[in-house]
Amino acid sequence: MVKKFGSTEKCIVCTKTVYPLEKLAADEKIYHKSCFKCTECNSILSLGKYASKDNGTLFCKVCFKKLFFSKGNYSEGFGQLKPQHEFEKKKNGGESKEEITPSEVEVAASS
């Protein structure tokens, strides 16, 4: 079948058709230029001035640094356990449903 008009590419954010003039490709995903925004401050991003998380969440450099430095690492800044806490969780019983808090790990390490 011959394609007459339009494009089949869809924006990840709004799921609407992306035409070549408004297309922006980042991290192997397609966006409208106006949909390529920081999830924290909602500012429009450019290809050279953005950071993304594994799940595709977009941030401007300022917000990314703010979230990173507030916890001191990427894991806690994005609501996950620190790698040390993941290790302790696995060491203390594998894949248990209980959450290990940082204070519990510090107490266990000091004893």
Q: What CA–CA distance (Å, rounded) separates 74 from 68?
A: 6
What is the C-alpha to C-alpha distance for residues 81 and 96, in angstroms, rounded to an integer?
14
Residue 37 token pair:
């925004």
What is the tens place of the pLDDT at every residue in 93-106? 755 444 444 444 44
**CA-CA-CA-CA dihedral for 52, 53, 58, 61, to nearest 10:** -50
Interacting residues of 65 by C-beta distance below 8 A, sequence separation 6+: none
What pLDDT was estimated at residue 97? 44
Q: How far apart are CA 64 and CA 3, in angstroms?
A: 41
Secondary structure element (H or E) that encloses residue 84, with its range:
helix 83-91
Cβ burial of 76 (10 Å; 0-12, 13-18, 19+) is middle
The answer to pTM > 0.85 is no
Per-residue pLDDT of 6-48, as tens digits, reads 568 999 999 999 999 999 998 889 999 999 999 999 999 998 8
